[in-house]
Amino acid sequence: MGNPAVLLAPGVVRIPTLGDFINSFAFTDSDGSVTLVDCGLKRAPARIVAGLAHIGKHPYDVTRIILTHAHPDHAGGARGMLNATGLAGVESHEADAAYLRQGSPPRRDTSTTSGRVFERLPQSDFSAVPVATELKDGDIIPVAGGMRVVHTPGHTPGHVSLLHASSGVLITGDSIFNIASRRTWPLAGFCTSYAQSKATAARLADLEYGIAAFTHGPEIRDRARDRIRDFLRTKSDHG
Ligand SMILES: [Zn+2]
């Protein structure tokens, strides 16, 4: 088992919940409160609690849980983390709120082969959770100086990336993966609209950040913005 929490910037850690393949993030505010981003699979809460303990935090210190989107590898542990923290609900983009409240992901892109295959499999449901706050594009969530909601729909209708300007950390969410040291698109069959997901990822090229953090894969600290822009420039038109 690797490091339970990886420091990205002062007050910002990545918490690996399935090796580096599925990540949560914790942001600590000046008053000691913690904002958690994503909750991994259903069994991830034990890893998240261990990651919090590694930075001297208890689940009761968590005052906000933000979900980048309504998929079981991000929302699956949300019910468990609500129970552990005592919070009443999560925060998500308004376009994914209904899926979180019903505990089932949005439909898959049946214009792709993998989407047609996956659509026939049993739906990968997760425990329904209340959504206490619905987010919109451009919202600034009051997390340690402000976290900007960047709506990047396509992977799901309400998928968001998150820009924490004061630490220079961008969380791409599932708009871009970083697996085996390579930037890739999410798997087409798991997107609601693969084409839209690739198109809206272009928004990330315009943002200012020093560290690119991924819900799938380890972060990039060196020339992060250039490398994201290189990926978007070479991959956006095709494939
Ligand atoms: Zn995912």
The CATH number that applies at residue 85 is: 3.60.15.10
- pLDDT value, residue 112: 73
- pLDDT value, residue 239: 46
Q: How many domains does the chain have?
A: 1
Residues 147 and 27 sit within 8 Å (Cβ to Cβ): yes
Residue 153 makes CB contacts below 8 A (sequence gap 6+) with 95, 159, 192, 193, 196, 197, 200
Ligand 1 mean position, distance from CA 27 (Å): 20
Mean pLDDT by 10 residues, the chain (239 residues): 91 97 97 98 97 98 98 97 98 98 90 68 83 98 96 98 98 96 92 96 97 98 97 75
- pLDDT value, residue 113: 73
- pLDDT value, residue 50: 98
Cα distance between residue 111 and residue 141, in whole Å: 35
Residue 1 belongs to a domain? no
Ligand 1 mean position, distance from CA 222 (Å): 24
- pLDDT value, residue 201: 97
Ligand 1 mean position, distance from CA 72 (Å): 8
Q: Comparing C-alpha atoms, which of 158, 190, 166 is closest to residue 177?
A: 190
Residue 148 belongs to a domain? yes
Q: Comparing C-alpha atoms, which of 229, 177, 181, 176 is closest to residue 207?
A: 229
User: What is the domain range of residue 174?
Assistant: 6-122+129-235
- pLDDT value, residue 161: 98
Ligand 1 mean position, distance from CA 224 (Å): 20
